[in-house]
Each structure stands twice: as structure tokens, then as C-alpha cells.
Chains A and B, each alone.
Chain A
Amino acid sequence: MINNNASSKINKRERQLLDLLQTGFSVSSRPYLTAAEEMNMTEDDVVEMVKNLRSKGVIRRIGGLFSARKLGFTSTLVALQVEKQWIEKVAHAICSYPGVTHCYERNHFFNLWFTLTSSDRNTEKKILTEIDALPGVEKLRNFPALKKFKLKVNFSFSEDSTD
């Protein structure tokens, strides 16, 4: 049975609460009271559990997830081929753009991948031209989405039976 340290740090009640807070967060005056009633807990205990999950780094934030497109923004996925000795410098330069929300090193000749959200295609083009000109960048590939089949970033614990 493979079980890593991170998942064993979260107990069953916490997993139930995480499921609830991800998909059924009550947008109302007392959201934690609503959660508490569903969990058969007190509101104080729920708030305490949320604080704890946040300080453990399990909860990144509680807030809204917005659609870039619906807000009039444009976003894309970009791959770079970067000379190995330049990868950290290039990564840090890329991460300094506020519109870069994700940046990962991956095991391929396209070894650096990032997502870029911009106010319009012209701004996007300008930023990509700047990145393409960074020392160490050998190739830049833009992969704008042609069609979205799914975008649902939440992690379900409900099929989890481990304690």
C-alpha cells in the first residue's frame, strides 16, 4: 500500500471537510456554520480545522476561481527548450511576469513549461518575444487552447478509504 507522508497528515474528518469546502462552500453569512451542520461539528471546530489545514499548507487559499476568457483575458500554454545551465535563470525571469501563473521544469527537450494570462493577444505576443530573446532559450512553442474539454481543479477525497 502506497501512502505518502503528506496524505497521512490529513485525517478522515479533514478530508470530508476539504471535499465540502472545495465543491460545496456556502456563499452565505456563516459559511462555516453551514459546513459545521453538515459535518456534525461546531462552527468553532470547523474554523479551527480550516486554520490548521491552511497552516499545514493543504489549503492554498479560499476564494474565487475566475475564468480568464470571461473576464476578457487571454491565456496560453508555452513550452521552452532551454540550455541546461540557464534553466534557473530563465525560470526566474519568466516567473517575474505577473501573468505567468504556473512554471514547471519537465523531463523532455522542451524542459520548461509555463502558463501565461494576458489582457490581450498583443500583450501576450510582446511578452513571448521578450522571453524568446532571453539567453539560454533555444526554442519557444506557443500552445494556445483550441478547445476545452475540461477544467476542474479540485481534489476529491470521497473515494478515499484510508484513515
Chain B
Amino acid sequence: MSRPALIVLVIDDEVQIRRFLRAGFELEAFTVLEAATGNEGIRAATLKPVDLVIVDLELPDMDGAEIVERLRSWSKVPIIVLSVRSSEDEKVRLLELGADDYVVKPFGMAELLARARAALRRQVPGQRGDPVVRAGALTIDLAARTVSIDGRPVSLSPKEYRLLQVLAQHAGNVVTHLHLLREVWGNAHSDDAHYLRIFVRKLRQKIEKDPTQPRILTTELGVGYRLSVDGG
């Protein structure tokens, strides 16, 4: 298990938050860079290639959306946003701008690490030469376009497969309603589409043990859906 240390850039004006994030990431063998302002953070990201950016939504010099937008203009680095409660619209906006995921303050290190790992995994595709996504008993082979539960094949309609495929491509990270509608139906007009909910329900009936208590295709209320993969 000797891989080069991944570099995480933490942009947050609260020194105590930076301290525990540093400790938490270093425990997981990350190398940590810190920045207290948005400008400092963007400069740090340009000076040295980083593998992951953690950015607070409320910075003194610029808002989270601006940082995400500026980073995204030249970099595909995974971005996890530290958000506050009751700002679902803001979360959706940041995700649409290119953030990979978010955690809501206060959060535990385990949750943040799970989101971060999922985003990192997607960023290095084929690292293990494996186009297969596993979530619980569910296996999705993106190359062969097959889906199975405990080795038994599951038959999905084309739209159902497409839905699952988009979620699997972001496995472990949240995907907004709008993104799913755009990817699956090519329709970005209604982020409140009734039919998306219906398709998720159908999909759950095929892939979940108890569709009323989904463990694989989980909901982020007011934001979107997530394919929950093991170990983050």
C-alpha cells in the first residue's frame, strides 16, 4: 500500500477548523496545505498541483461559488464544499458549478473522508483498470453495461440503466436532480420533475432489498441522489 501522499488544500478562515482538518487528513496520510482566504487558496492551488480541495462556503474575501468557478476554469481537481444547514439551493448551485460534493457543518471527519475518497476515486478512473462499481450487493459493470445483484443479473430498462450509470459514474458523491434530468432525459427545464422520482422508485424496487429503506440509491433531500458505495 505504498502510494504517493495525496495533497489536500484546505481553504477555511477558521483556524480551529483548519487544525482538525489537518489532523484528520494527516491521520489518513494526506499532505495538507492550508489557506485562510479565497485568494490565498487559489494561489496555493496554482503554485502546486493538489489532489483535493476542501473549501468553506463563507470566506471573508469571496463566496464559495466564486472559488469553485475559478478553480473549475482551469482544473478538474475534486472539490468538497463545507456548507451550512438550510441552504439546499446554494448547495445545488455549487454542485452545478462543478463542486463534487458537500458536507454540512458540523460534520465528522469520517463523513468528509468518505466524500473525499469518492471524489478522488472518480478523478483517477481506471486506476485499478476496473470499470466496475460496487455498492452493497449491487455490481455495475460500466464497460459491459451489465448490472447484477449477488451475481444474479438484473434487467433494467434503457432509462433505468442510464440513471444508474450516471449515479455510478459519480459513485459515492451526490448527483443533483438537474444533472440527472439533463443526462438521462436531456431536459434541464424542470428540476422538480415528477418522473425522476418515479424512475428512482422503479430502480429501487429492482436493486434494493427494502425499497422503502434504500441503502444503495439514497436521497439527499432537496439536492439529489447518491449511489452509496462501501467504505466511502
Is A bound to B?
no
